[in-house]
Structure formats: structure tokens, C-alpha cells
Amino acid sequence: MQDRKRIVITGLGCVSPVGKDVQLTWENLVAGTSGAGPVTLFDAADYKCRIAAEVKDWDPDAHFGRKEARRMDRFTQFAMKASLEALEDSGLQITDDNRHRIGAIIGSGIGGLGTISEQMRVLHTEGPSRISPFLIPMMLPDTAGGMLAIHLGIRATNLAVITACATGTNSLGEAAEVIRRGQADVMFAGGAEASVIPIAMAGMASLTALTTRNDEPTRASRPFDLDRDGFLMGEGSAILLLESLEHALARDAKIYAEVVGYGSTNDAYHITAPAENGAGAVACMLSALEDGNLEPAEIGYINAHGTSTQLNDKNETAAIKTVFGESAYSIPVSSTKSMTGHMLGASGAIEALVSVKALQSQTLPPTINYETPDPECDLDYVPNQSRPARIKYVMSNSFGFGGHNATIILGRPAEATA
């Protein structure tokens, strides 16, 4: 275990409902600012859920030019912007000497569903001859990583993980494994989603998964609160640049955090509901602790999946108590989905980024809208206000439809030394 290659995080980038870059996103999360509001991307008047956490004032033409922007689905645009921010932040120079050792794992839960929906409309109203020649590449979930590779000329492993709402965390964990296997020195890793579209909103509402607190958008996402009634759809992307420690030290890179442990399990229970008492989540958290050679008592903060649905929040709480025992009550647990909404395949990535910032600043982001305690959700959820803390290791959980569970544990940058 001690001889395995160590993986560190050296670059951060994001586009979120509370900010179109890392600094603004973090500032707003610490301030407890909600990204929720009425849906503006389409007419949602007839929908059960008419609110969402959208990326505001997004202008892809300003980032990519009109021609290039029109050849990318919105989720790919988000991923590209976040990836380029992470690259700039890292200070990494891509050259002919290293491009074959740089890769990407960028996942998405639903990929280019917006493009599919629009082109289905074109098919039925204008006929097959009017279908865009870019339909297929724009809709594929792996296009984000592919477009990034083309743009930067990076030629190592390039994959798209698809594990529903666990996608972002699985992408990070698997990217770390690619580096450990020696297939790359550097990996872009994370997730992207553009899910505030009619078919996705209608489908999730049909599952009764979405909140219907339409008159109070900023109070709608309330993880662990007794009056929670469903999740708030969010969108955006977060990308982290991962490197082997040796590679980062050799180029004198700044190091934000270390990827210490990773767990991935499946409930094998139900296509949408979590296993009773969070059994799969328990196995996943224990796997991540074992992978990191850590004891539960060493975890100082948990960024929860915390969707604001009845079953998830109750079962995740039960799982945390099973893993951590009585000490669960002394570990701060917060859900930043209370502010960003549920960014589906990007949620694990943005929450890992938040965990990195928590380690860096020794500050815990809050769970906003926590007003009425639920007897079945009785942990310290950092209610409504951020707080300072002394933390060395952070755990971030993600759970997805299909029974997918993913947990990543990050350590303080001070620990990432040769």
C-alpha cells in the first residue's frame, strides 16, 4: 500500500449554478448562496417542477466562437470551459514531449440529451434530410473528452464514465487508477451535465424525484430537512487535474490535495432506489477507507450526496452511522446540493472540487435550508452557515440510479510531499 504511486490534484475548473469559475463558485457556496430560480431555458409553465439551478448568462460564443460552439452540446461546452480553467490553474504546459502522457476521463449522466431532443423535433417537423450532421458526435457522452483531446492534442487514455449521479466521483477515482497503472502522468477528470431540458425535467418529475416547491426556488433544495420533497435539477461541470506526485514535484506544481482513497460498489437492489439502510453506501465508504489505509476517525468532514429526497438522505445518514459509529455525530456532514442543485453526472466532480477547497481553506460549506430536523437524519449537517474547521481528510460520496456508489477521500496538500 505504501509503495503505490501517489496521486495529487494540481488544477481546478468549474462552471456551476453559483459561478462560472472556481473562485466565484466557492465564494458563493461559503456564503450560502442558492443558484436556484425559475426555469428560463424553456417554457416550463406546464411542468410539475418549474424551477432549477441553471448556469446563468452562459455565452458559448464568447468562449469558443459561434461556429465551434454550435458543434458542441451544452454539456460539452461546460466541460471544455472547466477543463481549460483547470489547465490554466495548474500551470501545466502541453508539448510534443508530454502530450502522449496526458489523458482525460470526463463523464456525463445523460450526455447530449438536449441535442437529441432538438433533433427529434427537427425530424418530426422538417424531415430526415434536415437532421444535423453533428447530431451523433454532439449527443455522445464521450464527446467532451474527445473535444478536449482534439483541442489540446492530448493522446493518453481518454474515456467517459457513465454511472448516473456517481459519474463525477467514479471519473476521478478511475483517472487516479490510470495514473497508478502507469498509463499516464496527468489526467483531466470530472463530469459535465446540461440537464435542464424539457424531456429530462418531465422524466424526473414523472419519477416524483423533483421538488415541487415552485414558489420558493431558493428554499426548494433542503437536504436532510424533514420537509424535503425532492431534488432540484442543476447543471454545469467540474474538472480536476490529477498528476502523479513525482510528476507534480518535478515541475514544481502547486498541490491542492492528494487522492488518498477510492471506493466503488453497486447495490444490486433497485433501478432507482438506494438499498435499505444504505448497505451499498456502507460498503463503498469502507472500501475507500481501506484503499486509503485510513481509520474512520481520521475523516474530518463528509461532503454528502445529500439530494434532498426522502430515501437518499435517510439512507445516507444511516450508512454514515454504520461506518462511523458514535463518532458519526461529531463529524460535520454537509450537502452543497442545497445550493447547486443536483448536477447529476457532474455532481461528484463539483463536490470533490468543493472538498479540495474545504481542505485548502479549512472551511466547511453549509447545508442551507436546514430548518426542521428529521429524527431519521440526526447528524451535524453544518446548518445554514459555513464554519472554520481543522481537517486533514475529507470524504465525498456519490450515489446513482442503477445502484452505483462511489466514494473518494482527499487529503490535505501539506501531506502530499515526497
Reference 54, options 42, 37, 76; nearest CA is 37
Domain span holding position 37: 9-250
* Catalytic entry in 49, 342, 377, 404: 342
DSSP state of 218: G
Residue ending a domain, choose from 250, 272, 295:
250
What is the reported pLDDT for 268?
87
- Cα angle 150, 154, 160 (rounded to 5 degrees) comes to 75
Alpha carbon 364 to its chain's center: 17
What is the reported pLDDT for 416?
56
* Catalytic entry in 165, 247, 284, 404: 165
Which helix or strand (DSSP H or E) is residue 103 part of? Answer: strand 102-107
Place of cell 431532443: 117
What is the reported pLDDT for 276?
82
Residue 3 covered by a domain: no
Residue 167 covered by a domain: yes
CB 109 within 8 A of CB 344: yes
Question: Are 330 and 407 part of one and the same domain?
Answer: yes
CB atoms within 10 A of CB 246: 12
Residue 1 covered by a domain: no
- Cα angle 394, 161, 231 (rounded to 5 degrees) comes to 65
Residue 124 annotated among the catalytic residues of the structure: no
**Residue spans of beta strands (DSSP E) within 168-221:** 186-193
Residue 255 covered by a domain: no
Question: Are 162 and 294 part of one and the same domain?
Answer: no
CB 155 within 8 A of CB 384: no
What is the reported pLDDT for 1?
44
Judged against a pLDDT cut of 70, whether residue 86 lies above it is answered with: yes
Over residues 206-261, the pLDDT tens digits come to 999 999 999 999 999 999 999 999 999 999 999 999 999 999 999 999 999 999 99
DSSP state of 233: B
Residue 111 covered by a domain: yes
Mapped onto helix, strand or coil, the DSSP state of residue 16 is: strand
Question: Are 155 and 48 part of one and the same domain?
Answer: yes
Question: Are 305 and 209 part of one and the same domain?
Answer: no
Over residues 161-209, the pLDDT tens digits come to 999 999 999 999 999 999 999 999 999 999 999 999 999 999 999 999 9
Question: Are 113 and 46 part of one and the same domain?
Answer: yes
Residue 305 annotated among the catalytic residues of the structure: yes
Over residues 384-394, the pLDDT tens digits come to 999 999 999 99
Residue 43 covered by a domain: yes
Q: For residue 398, which amino acid is it?
A: S
What is the reported pLDDT for 330?
96
* Catalytic entry in 247, 305, 377, 404: 305
Report the C-alpha gap between 356 and 257 in whole angstroms. Answer: 6
Question: Are 98 and 205 part of one and the same domain?
Answer: yes
Confidence category of residue 327, pLDDT binned at 50, 70, 90 = very high
Residue 151 annotated among the catalytic residues of the structure: no
Residue 77 covered by a domain: yes
| CA R_g for the chain | 20
Q: Domain holding 273: CATH number?
A: 3.40.47.10
Residue ending a domain, choose from 250, 275, 297:
250
Question: Are 246 and 282 part of one and the same domain?
Answer: no
CB 195 within 8 A of CB 110: yes
Residue ending a domain, choose from 221, 250, 279:
250
Residue 134 covered by a domain: yes
Q: How many structural domains is the chain composed of?
A: 2
Report the C-alpha gap between 309 and 416 in whole angstroms. Answer: 37
Q: What is the mean pLDDT of the chain?
A: 96
Report the interhelical angle of 143-152 vs 74-90 (nearest 10°): 40
Q: For residue 12, which amino acid is it?
A: L
Q: For residue 414, which amino acid is it?
A: A
The number of CA neighbours under 13 Å toward the Cβ of 87 is 18
Confidence category of residue 415, pLDDT binned at 50, 70, 90 = low
Please state the rounded mean pLDDT for residues 53-82.
96
In the 3-class helix/strand/coil scheme, how is 22-90 assigned residue by residue? Answer: HHHHHHHHHCCCCCCEECCCCCCCCCCCCEEECCCCCCHHHHHCHHHHCCCCHHHHHHHHHHHHHHHHH
Please state the rounded mean pLDDT for residues 303-307.
97
pTM of the model: 0.96
Over residues 125-167, the pLDDT tens digits come to 999 999 999 999 999 999 999 999 999 999 999 999 999 999 9
Question: Are 93 and 150 part of one and the same domain?
Answer: yes
DSSP letters spanning 124-152: HHH-GGGS-TTHHHHH-TTHHHHHHHHHH
Question: Are 63 and 139 part of one and the same domain?
Answer: yes
Question: Are 171 and 130 part of one and the same domain?
Answer: yes
Residues 211, 215, 221, 226, CA torsion sign: negative
What is the reported pLDDT for 273?
84
Q: Give the strand pairing for 51-52 and 37-38.
A: antiparallel
CB atoms within 10 A of CB 135: 18
Question: Are 80 and 228 part of one and the same domain?
Answer: yes
Alpha-carbon torsion angle 114, 206, 235, 112, nearest 10: -20
Q: What percentage of the chain exceeds 70 in pLDDT?
A: 98
Question: Are 237 and 275 part of one and the same domain?
Answer: no
Q: Is 155 exposed, middle or buried (0-12, 13-18, 19+ CB in 10 A)?
A: middle
